[in-house]
Structure 1
């Protein structure tokens, strides 16, 4: 900042000196031309050689002096104000510029009945005076630049102290201490930066708090199935040779399956939190995805003797991630099958409106009480239903995927099957 500010001032100073020189040269040209005209006009028209011989001695020449010469009609030089410089006689009346002895001269000639009056001045002398005047103005300009440099150095250093304090405050922040950085005495210029950092720290704090809660809940949830697996493994060892090996192994397999399902759900939640917003969205045919997921889960539904089928599949496109929409559908249908008693029914429907496409999953299970329909979207929350064997993460994952797609999830009472009806409203793609 100091370099660029002082460089700009130096360039402006150079422009100022150049402009001063050009203006002075133009003003001096007018002044000296008027002076030459006055000198020539002041000589009487009837002056003779006798009067000129009685004039005083010649003058010593200086660079900007005007040289006066008077010639008679025969071309004889009767008077020369500076004897050491003898210019030839020129014939053009009025002002003219001539080249003499490697220099340019401004000439003014006045002709009378008796004489030719010639006034000459060196143009280099005029330029030297303009240069001297411009150089004299350079000294206060340099002093001004020095003072401005010191003031800029002080003001910039003082202004940047607030950034130094801000960086020091930011360096003190830890994952356990993410307080606000804003202070009432901060300069106006860095308040937007401080507010943006405070917003970022607030989001980071929320994310870290959610991560801590998730890890604590996951640890708590994993403790029970792992302890159960350990007990079931011991039971298998104790049942060897007693004829109960098959039953013990079946229980062990069921425990492993439940634990694997829980770990899979935890990993799914973690992936959605870490990279869900970066997954590219593209046009998707929701009815085709619903058909694929329903067909994939029919064998699982058959093991529980659940009649899983499709009620209505309207064609329509949405914008979204195919992977995430598959996860949403799988979790909704899996939850419906898991919570529906043996011999029940689960129907899948896609209904297309003018601006939205609604996915509906309806089952013949016990449903969810109205007072608990908001809480079931919390992680690891389970309704007190005897058939429930899930991890408490299915609907939390559904809500998370719906939020990523700007969709709305609603839970209500089924109209046809009298169980739970879960609906997800997507915006229709153009």
Structure 2
């Protein structure tokens, strides 16, 4: 059901219910008013009869009346119980001895009675309560036709006014339909109702974020294409060298270069895929309590063979126990990238130390190496994608620290690069918020 039809249905339903309530209230008010009027009329009729009147003369001078439903019926009995007068000969009610007002059942009908006793007579005035109700109901039903006309007119007015009010939504949907991935400018917000402006602002914010995401994706694809072009060309040249070295005795060296090129390309592709997932899907990964020291211990053990192959002493200096809230997938990636960077840029025979230090509501991951370090003016730039320091010892993908930066931002953590304290190289520190047990 459309918004217009839904509003029309509920508004008209509300008006119809109010109309019914109005009719019921009108009926009840009319009943109360008629009760007061007819009760007063009955009282006046009873007291208009003299206390010592002559019944014969009254009957002689007063013609018999035909009962009309809402008539008051006057009956008079003398002290001997003889009915000396009745205003409507076709209706004869028995005498009711209770003075004043009362109600009684007679022949299946309800009657309102007023009884006056004098020294000579019992004067009784009666009126049908069913007739009173019918008069009130008839009066209430007479208002039904104006009410239906009112509902019809209100329905037309509501249909027109709702349609006019929804034109802003129609224009907004038309504006949105014109937007394309290459055309995400802000929506026109002039002359919009106040209720729609927050929706327009929210859509503008969403379009702005979408534009930033699309621009970032374009830049990422362009950078990835540029970065992949060189290693792929290198692989092609190395494959040709292997082909040319067949039978020359240099096959082993050429094949080793080819394997190293494949490994570098594979590492670059892995880093690209990892960065892509972090950027476009990492915000939706659930965060759960993690034992950071256990993750660091396992990742360090996994890197020992690689460190030994480069003759680097990889060890753990301190591992304080601590729990953080994080992604089971992303936190190990952060630790692996930091340790991998430290090993890659540390010369053969060097040292890499890993530590977890638990402080006041903080848990700090520290990785120190004995490599050449990073100049202070470049310590912020190395977090940019594909930026590489001019270090001859190793050739990375330029994505490791960019991935670390993304993970820390998604976990509300902080990453710092500074000169190492105990070793001559670089110290990378990541400060996490500790999960305090309740």
TM-score (norm 1): 0.95
- Measure how far apart 1:134 and its partner are: 0.8
- 1:209 match: 215
The whole-number CA distance in structure 1 between the counterparts of 2:225 and 2:104 is 103
Equivalence for 2:13 = 7
Deviation at 1:156, TM superposition (A): 1.4
Task: Write out per-residue CA displacement over residues 55-98 of structure 1, whole angstroms, 9 at most, x where no aligned residue.
Answer: 13223332111122233333443333233333344433333323
Name the residue aligned to 1:122. Answer: 128
2:161 and 2:426 map into 1 onto residues whose CA distance is 69
User: So what's the TM-score if we normalise by structure 2?
Assistant: 0.93
2:358 corresponds in structure 1 to 352
Verify: 1:95 aligned to 2:123, yes or no.
no
1:379 match: secondary structure = coil
- Any idea what SS the aligned residue of 1:390 has? coil
- Cα distance in 2 between the residues matched to 1:89 and 1:356: 99
1:21-40 to structure 2, matched below 5 A, reads 21-40=27-46
Asked if the contact 1:182–1:195 (Cα under 8 Å) also holds between the matched residues in 2, the reply is no
Structure 2 contact 56–84 (Cα < 8 Å) conserved: no
Q: Distance in 1 between matches of 2:398 and 2:154?
A: 69
2:197 matched to which residue of 1? 191
- Give distance in 1, aligned partners of 2:299 and 2:90: 114
CA 1:389–1:61 in 2, change beyond 3 Å: closer, same or farther?
Answer: same
Q: Structure 1 pair 394/125, CA: closer, same or farther in 2 (3 Å)?
A: same
The corresponding residue for 1:250 is 256
The SS at the match of 1:301 is: helix
Q: Deviations over 1:222-256 (max 9, x none)?
A: 11111111111111111111111111111111111
- Matching residue within 18, 22, 40 for 1:16: 22
Shift of 1:207: 1.2
Alignment-derived partner of residue 414 in structure 1: 420
CA deviation after TM superposition for structure 1 residue 211, in Å: 1.0
Q: In the alignment, which residue of structure 1 is the partner of 2:161?
A: 155
1:139-150 to structure 2, matched below 5 A, reads 139-150=145-156
Contact map agreement 1:306 1:342 (CA 8 A) in 2:
yes
Three-state SS of the structure 1 residue aligned to 2:195 is helix
Alignment match, 2:69: 63
8 Å contact kept, 1:69–1:117: yes
Question: Are residues 95 and 317 of structure 1, via their aligned partners in 2, closer, same or farther at CA, if it must alter by over 3 Å?
Answer: closer
Q: Which residue of 2 aligns with 1:296?
A: 302
Aligned residues: CA RMSD? 1.8
Deviation at 1:50, TM superposition (A): 4.5
Equivalent position to 1:382, from 379, 384, 388: 388
Bigger mean CA offset, 410-419 vs 246-255: 410-419
Structure 1 counterpart of 2:332: 326
Residue 315 of structure 1: how far off its partner (Å): 2.6
The corresponding residue for 1:78 is 84
Match for residue 177 of structure 1 among 180, 183, 193: 183
Structure 1 residue 107 displacement after superposition: 2.3
Indicate the residue corresponding to 2:137 in structure 1. Answer: 131
Higher alpha-carbon deviation: 406-415 or 57-66: 57-66
Q: Is the 8 A contact 1:226 1:259 kept in 2?
A: yes
Q: Which runs of 5+ in 1 are unaligned?
A: none
Residue 363 of structure 1 and its aligned partner are, at CA, apart by 1.5
* Distance in structure 2 (CA, Å) of the matches to 1:106 and 1:118: 10
**CA–CA distance in 1 between the matches of 2:113 and 2:321?**
99
1:417 and 1:99, CA in 2 relative to 1: closer, same or farther beyond 3 A?
A: closer
Offset of residue 182 of structure 1:
5.0
User: Counterpart in 1 of 2:110?
Assistant: 104
> After superposition, what is the alpha-carbon deviation per residue over 1:11-63, rounded to whole angstroms, capped at 9, x for unaligned?
11111111111121122112111111111101111211353244132233321
